[in-house]
Structure 1
Amino acid sequence: MGYKVAVVGATGAVGREMLKTLAQRNFPASEVVALASGRSAGQQVSYGDDRVLTVQNLESFDFSGIDIGLFSPGASVSAVHAPRAAAAGCVVIDNTSHFRMEPDIPLVVPEVNPQALKGYAKRNIIANPNCSTIQMVVALKPLHRIARIKRVVVATYQSVSGAGKEAMDELYAQTKGSFVNDLKAPEQFTKPIAFNCIPHIDRFMDDGSTKEEWKMAVETRKILDPDIAVIATCVRVPVFVGHAEAVHVEFEGPISVAEALAAWRRAPGVTVVDRREDGGYMTQVEAAGEDDVFVSRLRKDPTVPHGLAFWCVSDNLRKGAALNAVQIAETLIARGFLSKRAA
C-alpha cells in the first residue's frame, strides 16, 4: 500500500513537473489524481513515461481519503481549496505564495530546515518557498553553519517559466517575430522579453521594491535565520528554464574560500562547478532538468571585512518548485509524520 496523492494545477508547468518528479523518484504512491479548473477537466496529462491521467475538476473534488496534496494552482485558488483539502485530512504542500508568511504554517526547504515540519499539523498545510529563495538558501545554509551570515546582497536572473506557460509562449513568439518583422506588443510582461532584461517581477511595493524582492528577504529570514539582512534585485531574463543568482554574502566572522568549498561539497543538494577557466562554471541552460543547486565563481569579497561572492543556478521548475514539494512529502514520510490512511 502506498500514499494517495493529488496534484492540483496539474495542467500548468509546475503541476506537470510535479507529476514527472513523482514518477522519476518512484514516490510510494498507490494512486495519483490530477486536478485543475473546470475548463481543464477532461484533459490528459502524463505521469511517468507510460501512464496518462485524466484531469478532474478541482472545484467538485472530494479530498477525503487523499493523503498528500501537491498544490500549484495559483494563490487565489489555493486560498480556497488548500484549507478545504486540509480539513478533509489531506496534508497540503502548497507551492503558491498565499500561506508562506503565516506564522503557524511551516515554510520548508528539506536540506535547510526540515525541523520546521514538526508544526505542520496545526493547519495541515506546508508552504513551498519562492523559487529564487529556495536555491539561494540551499547554497547559503552550509556557509551559515560555519560562519554566521550577517547580510546578503543578491541579483537574480530569472527565467520566464517562473511566470507560467503563457510567459514562455510570449518569449518564443517575440523571439521568432523579431526575425520575421512580426513584433507583437507584450502581454505577459511590461516590456518585450526577447533579447531584453526586465528588472520587475511581481507588483511594486511602497518602498520601491517588487514583491519578488520582498519575498526573498522575508522568506530567507523565516527559513534560515531571522537576523539575516537581505536586499534583492530580481530580473526577468530571456531564458526558458533556470534561474541564476549573483550572491554577495557578508559574515560575522572569517571564512575562507577553501572552507566554503569544503562545506558545499559536503552539503546535500549542492554541486560545485568552479574551475577558474573558460566555461568552468554552470549556466541556466546546463542546470535545466537537473535536481541540484549548482554553485560557481566563488571568490572573496574585499569590500567587507568577511565577505564571499558566488554565482548559483538551478532549475526553477524542479528544485525551485516541484522537486522541493516532493522532497517535503518524502521527508514527512521518512520522519514518521505521515501515515497512510485506510481506503
Structure 2
Amino acid sequence: MNKEYNIALIGEIDGCIETTLEVLLKRDFAINNIFPISSSECDTTSVMYSGKPVDVVELETFDWQQVDIALFLSDREIAATWIPVAKEHCVVIDISGYYLESPEVPLVQVGVNDDDIARYSDANIIAIPSPETAQLTLAIKQIHQEVGIKRVTVAGYQSASTIGKEGVSALAGETARLLNAKSIEQHKFKQQIAFNVVPQIDEFNEDGIDFSELRLAAETRRLLNDPEMVVSTTQVVVPMFYGCSQAVHVVTHYPVELEEVANALHHSDNIVLAGSVTEYANMIDDVVGNVEVHVGRLRKDTCDAAGINMWVSADNVHYGIATNAVLVMEKLAYTYL
C-alpha cells in the first residue's frame, strides 16, 4: 500500500470533481498526480487539492498514458466517446450507466458486491451504479441476503443536482425569477422545477419509462444477483438542491418481524437506522454533505404480511457519486493493482 497513484477525474469541475477531491483528501488516498478534466466548457482553470492549486486539463488533448485510474463522473455521451480511448491505457471507473447492458463490465457497489471488482481486467472498466441505486441496494442488501426479496417498489425524489451543476443553477435561477415576478424563459428540466415536481428525468421510451428508471431496476437486480426480483420505480425531480429520498416498499419471500428487519439494517455498513417507526432523517441537517445512508419510517405494510415500508435518504453527490467512486477506487488500487 506504499504505492501512489496517478488519477484522472472527468466531470464537472465545480460540481462532482470538487466534491470527489474533498473525499479523496479526507480518506487520504495515496495520490502521486491528479488530473482534473472538465467534461464541458469551463472557465475554471484550476482547483484546490491539499492546499495547492491543480491545473484543469483539456479532455481532447489529454494523454491517458499518464494515469493509473480514470474516474468518469460524467454523462453517457462523454463515456461513449472517451472511455474506449482511456481504457487502453488505464483502469476506468464509470458512473454514467453507459455500460448498463455490458456483462463484461462488472457493476460494483462497495458494501454490496465488493468481490466483483476482481473482474475489472475483463474490459479494464468498472461500472458503478447511479446514486439512487447505490443508496437503495445498500439499504435492502442485508434484508435480501437474510430473508429474500420478491419485489421492490420505489418512488424516488431526486434533487435538482441529479443533472449536475446546471440543475442546481436552474433551480436557483427559476426561484429567483419567480420571486421577483419575472417569467421563466427556458427549462433545464422537462418542466419548470421551481415550486414544482417533475416525474421525468430522461427521455421516455415507447413504454413511458425513462432511462433513470430502467437503470435503477436493472442495476438493483444485478448488484443483488437476483434476476427474478421484480423492481418497479418512478423517479421524480423535486425543488431541492442536493440529496435523494426514496419511499421504498419491499415484499419478502415470507412474513418477517419488524425487529428482524431492523437487526438486519443494524448489521449493514454505512446505514443509519432511525430509532423508532415514527422517526426519519432531516435532509438538511442529517443527510446533505454526509456519506451515510439513512433509513427511517421503517414499518410493516398494513395490507401485506410480507411487506415492509421504509424511507431511504442520502446525499446524491457526496455519497452517491464521490464517495462511491472513491471506495471502489480504493478497493481496486489497494487489492488488485
TM-score, L = length of structure 1:
0.93
Counterpart Cα distance in 1 of 2:98 and 2:290: 27
Which residue of 1 is the match for residue 270 of structure 2?
Answer: 269
Q: Write out aligned runs for 1:128-277 (5 A).
A: 128-224=128-224, 225-277=226-278
CA distance in 1, matches of 2:192, 2:233: 22
* 1:2 corresponds to: 4
3-state SS of the aligned residue for 1:290?
coil
The alpha-carbon deviation at position 66 of structure 1 amounts to 1.1
Whether the 8 Å CA contact 2:13–2:44 is kept in 1: the answer is no
TM-aligned CA distance change 1:12 to 1:84, over 3 Å: farther
- Does the CA-based 8 Å contact 1:41-1:57 persist in structure 2? no
Q: Give the deviation of 1:12 after TM superposition.
A: 4.9
> 8 Å contact 2:277–2:298 — kept in the other structure?
no
Q: Secondary structure at the match of 1:57?
A: coil
Matched, 1:15 2:17: yes
Give, in whole Å, the separation in 2 of the partners of 1:255 and 1:117. Answer: 32
**2:274–2:295 Cα contact (<8 Å) kept:** yes
1:324: which partner in 2? 324
The Cα shift of 1:313 comes to 0.3
Deviations 1:219-238 (A, max 9, x none): 11111121210110110000
Matches within 5 A, 1:32-47: 32-37=34-39, 39-40=41-42, 43-47=45-49
Cα-to-partner distance string for 1:131-176 (whole Å, 9 max, x where unaligned): 1111100101011111100000110110001111111111111212
Is this contact kept in 2: 1:106–1:120, CA < 8 A? yes
Partner of 1:125: 125
* Shift in CA distance, 250/51, structure 1 to aligned 2, threshold 3 Å: same
Offset at residue 84 of structure 1 (A): 1.3
Give the 3-state SS of the residue equivalent to 2:132 in structure 1.
helix
Q: What does residue 102 of structure 2 align with?
A: 102
**1:255-312 per-position Cα deviation (integer Å, ceiling 9, x unaligned):** 22111111111111111124345xx311332301110110000000132231100001
In structure 2, distance between residues paired with 1:13 and 1:30: 23
* Matches of 1:199 and 1:55, distance apart in 2: 36
| SS of 1:234 mapped into structure 2 | strand
Residue 295 of structure 2 aligns with which residue? 295
2:116 match: 116
Question: How far apart are the structure 2 equivalents of 1:329 and 1:287?
Answer: 23
Deviations, residues 204-254 of structure 1 (Å, cap 9, x unaligned): 011112221111111111111212101101100001000000000001123
State the SS of the aligned residue for 1:140: helix
The whole-number CA distance in structure 2 between the counterparts of 1:151 and 1:162 is 25
For the 8 Å contact 1:38–1:59, the answer to whether it is kept is no
- For residues 129 and 114 of structure 2, the distance between their equivalents in structure 1, rounded to whole angstroms, comes to 13
Output the amino acid matched with 1:185: E
- Letter of the structure 1 residue corresponding to residue 272 of structure 2: T
Deviation at 1:101, TM superposition (A): 2.5
Structure 2 residue identity aligned to 1:284: M
Deviation at 1:181, TM superposition (A): 0.4
> In 2, are the aligned partners of 1:274 and 1:298 still within 8 Å (CA)?
no
Of 152-161 and 317-326, the range deviating more from structure 2: 317-326
Aligned ranges for residues 49-68 of structure 1 at < 5 Å?
50-68=51-69
Please give the alpha-carbon distance, in whole angstroms, between the structure 2 residues aligned to 1:147 and 1:322.
Answer: 31
Q: Provide the residue aligned with 1:79 in structure 2.
A: 80
Name the % identity. 34
CA-to-aligned-CA distance 1:51-91 (integer Å, 9 cap, x gap): 22110111111111411111123211111211211101x11
Q: CA deviation at 1:15?
A: 2.0
Whether 2:21 is the aligned partner of 1:25: answer no
User: What amino acid sits opposite 1:71 in the alignment?
Assistant: F
Matched residues, number: 333
- Secondary structure (helix, strand or coil) at the match of 1:302 reads coil
Please list every run of 5 or more consecutive structure 2 residues that lacks an aligned counterpart in the other structure: none
Structure 1 Cα separation of the partners of residues 43 and 237 of structure 2: 32
Query: For the residues of structure 2 that align with 1:218 and 1:183, how far apart are their CA atoms?
Result: 39
Amino acid at match of 1:313: S
